[in-house]
Amino acid sequence: MYIMKPFFNRIGSKRDIVDKLIQLIPEHKIYVEPFIGGGAVFWRMETKNKKVIINDIDKQLIEGYRLLKKNDDNKLIIPPTIEEKQQLVNRKARDDNERLTQILLLSCNTFGSQGKYKIYKNTAHIQKIKKINEYSNKLKNTTILNQDFKKVIKKYDSKDTFFFLDPPYEKSIDTLYDNYFIDYKELVLILSNIKGFFMLTINDSPNIRNLFKKFNIVPIIVKQKSNSELGGSGDRRELIIMNYEF
Ligand SMILES: C[S@@+](CC[C@H](N)C(=O)[O-])C[C@H]1O[C@@H](n2cnc3c(N)ncnc32)[C@H](O)[C@@H]1O
């Protein structure tokens, strides 16, 4: 079976710890990912027979997911050279397929997968294009939203809901995410009052440990297999925070 990897890349992917995270997810009927990004956990997880909601504040990324959901067996045509990829990204898209190709290239072939600026890698995405139907099918029963995470948590919270939350790290806010501001204190307050389960992944820092101290905190070391262009290489300390025991 094809193991689904993120279709769109995003800084801060959970690719390297996805198996560990999935093992810690409790039974639930409604799966909600308010900060989907590339969605490493969503793509890998079995979501059949569940109500699934994915969300991100990034307009272009969500446009990409919506086009991928609509795609009906149309294989995307990826130009062979970096120069031709750049030309494709620079022009006005002629149809939905071309726009989807542009977003794929912007999210995967730019420096640090920032979704903008110059095409710098020549990746051809052969596997993803071959399996595009599997990607579209998984999205067919998925609700795709482009809102602030707070609205999504409020709307979909219930005793049957599981939230997987992967917000930007503390230090990344100014530099990597167009100044999207996450008020972690407010996030703690919201999570203290939900009916459902949540699991959150975040960088390890004294401030975060203190803010989330009433929850179950599991420190982990993430061995970085993937060669990250931003943030350098080497192991990373992270926290998995849950409102349940495992
Ligand atoms: C660390 S990334 C998620 C990575 C993802 N788990 C993966 O495996 O690729 C965080 C995401 O949160 C989004 N984001 C930032 N602020 C947000 C907000 N206020 N509401 C919803 N999404 C937000 C960013 O656009 C980014 O895609």
Please report whether residue 1 resides in a domain.
no
Q: Is 64 in the pocket of ligand 1 (CB under 6 A)?
A: no
Mean pLDDT of 31-43: 97
CA of 206 to the centre of ligand 1 (A): 22
Q: Is 14 in the pocket of ligand 1 (CB under 6 A)?
A: yes
Tell me the angle at which helices 184-192 and 149-156 cross, rounded to the nearest 10 degrees.
0
**H or E element at residue 30:** strand 30-33
Please report whether residue 2 resides in a domain.
no
SS3 call for 126: helix
Q: Which of 6, 5, 14, 60 is nearest to 164 (CA)?
A: 14
Please report whether residue 145 resides in a domain.
yes
Please report whether residue 38 resides in a domain.
yes
SS3 call for 162: strand
How many independent structural domains does the chain possess?
Answer: 1
pTM: 0.93
- Closest ligand 1 atom number to CA of residue 41: 8
pLDDT band with cut points at 50, 70 and 90 for residue 232: low
Distance CA 5, CA 3 (A): 6
Please report whether residue 55 resides in a domain.
yes
What is the DSSP-derived secondary structure letter of residue 110?
B
Dihedrals φ, ψ of 89, to 5°?
-70, -35
Strand partners, 55: 145
- Compute the radius of gyration of the chain from its Cα atoms: 18
* Domain of residue 148, residue span: 15-242
User: Residue 127's pLDDT is what?
Assistant: 93
User: Residue 172's pLDDT is what?
Assistant: 62
Q: Over the stretch 150-203, which tens digit does the pLDDT of each residue have?
A: 999 999 999 999 999 999 988 765 455 555 779 999 999 999 999 999 999 999
Q: Is 168 in the pocket of ligand 1 (CB under 6 A)?
A: yes
CATH number at residue 44: 3.40.50.150
Q: Six-digit token pair at 230?
A: 């931003």
Q: Which of 56, 181, 236 to mutate to test the pocket of ligand 1 (most atoms within 8 A of CB)?
A: 56
